[in-house]
Structure 1
């Protein structure tokens, strides 16, 4: 079967071009065929930056992510700041949490970067656990930390977020910045709107997170922008063992 476009006279006597499911008429008719543009290396390359090509890239990222993680088994996503310095109390808490999750038989999934993410990956990897890093393309290149033993890099944040949610039984959130807040509220929104089956979201570090919890209660909920029951969507604790127990319980 030919892959060439079918051309025929349009209603007004001008050309009509059929390119698969797409119909082009009048001034929208394009020269050449898809095969010609694919095989002609001397042709323009602007098409690789067009939306149809981006759709294929997005599709390929989903396929690669699903393929890499489909057999992961039970897992917990751990979020936290890339700026957490090694050796700090927050970093060491991340290591202990990664270790505890691995000992409980859970894979640890992080953004694959430095700081708190590296800490959780380190704790898991050094204690025989599966340590997953889901990286993201950024203007400032970070790369996956050395403790990741399954890594996937993404171009698109929304594809990466899907992987965090799809393969996690719970979310465990260490102190973090804008990216951590984005991931946290994405998870809270999905649970609140019942777009995903409810699962535990635990914020570790009461000194860091309690101000946010208080603002939600005294400003957002008091102002009628959310319900009192929405405070039950997450749990704040300083107890690392409690945090691990909450996200790993059946």
Structure 2
């Protein structure tokens, strides 16, 4: 087993010299879509590489303690790359704690860029120890303790806190869904309907479809004219990856304009740290280990699962939950709704396989394929809910 699992992406590319950077940049520039996919660039002198930085998509790259020309840092940030400095002290706590809030993770965002807020600093820290020899036991223990306490705080909120009387409906979908799109507006409507029906919204906590569902929960008490204005405001900064600071500030502007007491859950991860957490989830359980994050999000979606169009990660979530339902009995089978007939039957034909898997099983009566938020909620509301397990 890799010494860096599970804190770094399995395909992370660690670059520690200019020679390595030049070789990988040359390979990237010869491809159809030149990008620094999962690059982790450590302490490399890039002062003579402005032309290369200008030509690459660095939205999934992070640069730690690197040197730049006068405009080099701006070139990296213009395509969504993160330029960070390492710190010797832990930027997170390892003792008992409550769940994160947007205010905690984005402290200072009104006055400074995303790179300076705690969320970005923790992400940078998580990427510092990339070689097996550098990941010392103290560091590994700190992350493990952090994830343990965040997990305990999440369980407490579900069983004893703000969600104890609101079965959670997990809304799954990709981060690529853009503000201003029809799909984004539909997902906001879905979040509204879930909340108005007395359920809690739970998402992966990131941008795109996840943000839209959490935003719908936040705006559940507002009329359509207010919702339209909120969507217009958000659409002014649609890109969460390339314009993280502006993207976050527009969400704050919407929250300031439309205050809310509605609660919803986000469960993001620094494993995909280039995707910033959305600011509409009021309770945030952010983990270092993505495997823990995925399992606990699906496990605590005790009211059902609604799956919006997404790619590989979303498909994985569908069948991870379907596996639990396949072997579950009676009321412990949680309803699952796939949202988007065309997408789930033709673009990614998951629905036929899910139907075949569910044939002659209890789960066969608890799966549905729909095209509207109203249809999704009508199906979910027709099912009885039962927590998947008892309180620890």
Instruction: Please indicate, yes or no, whether the TM-score normalized by the shorter chain is above 0.5.
Output: yes
Residue aligned with 1:93, SS: helix
Look up the match of 2:370: 237
| 1:187 partnered with 2:321 | yes
Q: Could you say what the CA RMSD is over the residues aligned between the two structures, in angstroms?
A: 2.7
Look up the match of 2:266: 133
Write the distance in 2 (CA, Å) between the matches of 1:85 and 1:139. 18
> For residues 206-245 of structure 1, what are the structure 2 equivalents within 5 Å?
206-211=341-346, 212-213=349-350, 215-216=352-353, 221=356, 226=357, 228-229=359-360, 232=364, 234-245=367-378
Write the distance in 2 (CA, Å) between the matches of 1:76 and 1:207. 23
Over 3 Å counting, the alpha-carbon distance change for 1:94 and 1:49 in structure 2 is same
Please say which structure displays the higher CA radius of gyration.
1
TM-score between both structures, scaled by the size of structure 1: 0.70
Look up the match of 1:14: none
Residue aligned with 2:343, SS: helix
Look up the match of 1:100: 193
Alpha-carbon shift at residue 139 of structure 1 (Å): 4.8
Write the distance in 1 (CA, Å) between the matches of 2:171 and 2:351. 23
Q: 1:47 aligns with which of 117, 122, 137?
A: 137
Over 3 Å counting, the alpha-carbon distance change for 1:139 and 1:103 in structure 2 is closer
Indicate if the aligned counterparts of 2:204 and 2:297 stay in contact, CA closer than 8 A.
no
Alpha-carbon shift at residue 167 of structure 1 (Å): 4.2
Residue aligned with 1:65, SS: helix
Indicate if the aligned counterparts of 1:86 and 1:115 stay in contact, CA closer than 8 A.
yes
Indicate if the aligned counterparts of 1:170 and 1:248 stay in contact, CA closer than 8 A.
no
Structure 2 gap segments, 5+ residues each = 1-133, 222-261, 385-392
TM-score between both structures, scaled by the size of structure 2: 0.46
Over 3 Å counting, the alpha-carbon distance change for 1:227 and 1:246 in structure 2 is closer
Write the distance in 1 (CA, Å) between the matches of 2:144 and 2:182. 43
Residue aligned with 1:135, SS: coil
| 1:169 partnered with 2:259 | no
> For residues 10-89 of structure 1, what are the structure 2 equivalents within 5 Å?
46-49=136-139, 56-70=145-159, 71=161, 72=163, 73-89=166-182
Look up the match of 2:208: 115
Indicate if the aligned counterparts of 1:69 and 1:167 stay in contact, CA closer than 8 A.
no
Alpha-carbon shift at residue 214 of structure 1 (Å): 5.8
Write the distance in 1 (CA, Å) between the matches of 2:308 and 2:179. 14
Write the distance in 2 (CA, Å) between the matches of 1:45 and 1:88. 42
Write the distance in 2 (CA, Å) between the matches of 1:138 and 1:179. 13
Write the distance in 2 (CA, Å) between the matches of 1:109 and 1:214. 22
Task: Determine which structure has the larger strand proportion and give its number.
Answer: 1
| 1:205 partnered with 2:340 | yes
Alpha-carbon shift at residue 213 of structure 1 (Å): 4.2
